[in-house]
């Protein structure tokens, strides 16, 4: 993993974590990956393909959670091998770290779990890179303790931090870009989650809402502020996606957005 991750992060461009919210099936995941790889290769954007093998945090008991852990993880592993790219997925409990590490290159800690010491330690022990999402209830400055927990367990660990907004009232989020600046002080790559930061959680319908029309706005501001990477969930048919369709970017709109973001990155790098 070290060579792949180091190579990708050393690129002069921002890097991208992108893919569907959840692995819904092999054919769909591969078709999404193929299109993203084609776009990112063209634009020379280092890619880490994202897909949740299981959705553990759902509003309703009957919400889609996955197609089976090992089945979904194998799909992620096969995508990584087929396209020679890194892959990332979420883990939710300590035992999942070793399981997911058999298939993916980056273990992602969900925002709600970013303070879970044993979960962070379990991820670190695998030797995989660890992406920690900032809790909606935390400041960027406070995320240094999460980084410390990983490095205490594995001093050589590759750690990333992801900004995904802060709770604003009962059913909305707001992005404070000072968090990106504060988290960069920990000398780790800092990522902007451009889709989850636009969620409208805790809706009375039991289905999380969102504002996907603002994905470009969030992404452009993040690049201008100095984010090292972007996290964008994308799907060819968000309206019929089995998870988080309300805040995913339509796959057809990804290339144009990334082209614009590359221009912004080049402009601020002059």
| Beta partners for residue 49, in sequence order | 18, 87
Residue 265 makes CB contacts below 8 A (sequence gap 6+) with 13, 14, 223
* Conformational region of residue 147, where left means phi above 0, alpha means psi within -120 to 50, and beta covers everything else: alpha
- The set of residues, in sequence order, having a beta carbon less than 8 Å from that of 198 and lying 6+ positions away, is 165, 173, 210, 211, 212, 214, 215, 218, 247
Distance CA 159, CA 153 (A): 12
Class of residue 226 by CB neighbours under 10 A (exposed 0-12, middle 13-18, buried 19+): middle
| CA-CA-CA-CA torsion sign (12, 163, 1, 45) | negative
Going from N- to C-terminal start, the domains of the chain cover 2-269
| Rounded Cα–Cα distance for residues 16 and 104 (Å) | 16
CATH 3.20.20.70 is the classification of domain 2-269 = yes
Q: Which two tokens stand for residue 110?
A: 């969900």
Identify the H or E element spanning 212: none
pLDDT 10s digit of each residue in the chain, 270 long?
A: 344 454 554 467 999 999 999 999 999 999 999 999 999 999 999 999 999 999 766 555 656 667 999 999 999 999 999 999 999 999 999 999 999 999 999 999 999 999 999 999 999 999 999 999 999 999 999 999 999 999 999 999 999 999 999 988 877 889 999 999 999 999 999 999 999 888 666 554 545 556 778 999 999 999 999 999 999 999 999 989 887 777 889 999 999 999 999 999 999 987
Closest CA relative to residue 96, chosen from 64, 128, 67 = 128
Strand-strand pairing, 129-133 and 166-167: unpaired
Query: Which residues lie closer than 8 Å to 40 by C-beta, 6 or more apart?
Result: 16, 18, 46, 47, 258
């Amino acid at each position: 993993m070290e060579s792949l991750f180091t190579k990708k992060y050393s690129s002069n461009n921002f890097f991208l974590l992108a893919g569907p919210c959840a692995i819904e099936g092999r054919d769909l995941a591969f078709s999404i990956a193929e299109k993203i790889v084609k776009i990112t290769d063209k634009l020379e954007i280092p890619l880490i393909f994202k897909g949740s093998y299981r959705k553990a945090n759902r509003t309703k008991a009957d919400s889609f959670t996955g197609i089976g852990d090992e089945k979904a993880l194998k799909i992620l592993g096969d995508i990584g091998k087929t396209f020679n790219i890194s892959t990332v997925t979420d883990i939710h409990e300590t035992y999942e770290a070793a399981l997911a590490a058999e298939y993916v290159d980056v273990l992602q800690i969900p925002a709600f779990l970013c303070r879970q010491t044993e979960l962070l330690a379990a991820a670190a022990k695998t030797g995989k890179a660890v992406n920690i999402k900032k809790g909606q209830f935390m400041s960027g400055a406070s995320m240094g303790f999460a980084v410390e927990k990983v490095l205490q367990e594995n001093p050589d660990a590759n750690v990333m931090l992801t900004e995904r907004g802060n709770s604003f009232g009962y059913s909305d989020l707001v992005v404070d870009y000072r968090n990106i600046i504060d988290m960069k002080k920990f000398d780790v790559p800092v990522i902007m989650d451009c889709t989850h930061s636009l969620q409208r959680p805790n809706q009375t319908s039991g289905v999380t809402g969102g504002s996907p029309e603002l994905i470009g706005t969030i992404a452009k501001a993040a690049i201008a502020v100095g984010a090292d990477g972007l996290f964008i969930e994308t799907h060819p048919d968000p309206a019929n996606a089995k998870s988080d369709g309300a805040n995913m970017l339509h796959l057809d709109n990804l290339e144009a957005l990334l082209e614009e973001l590359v221009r912004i990155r080049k402009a601020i790098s002059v």
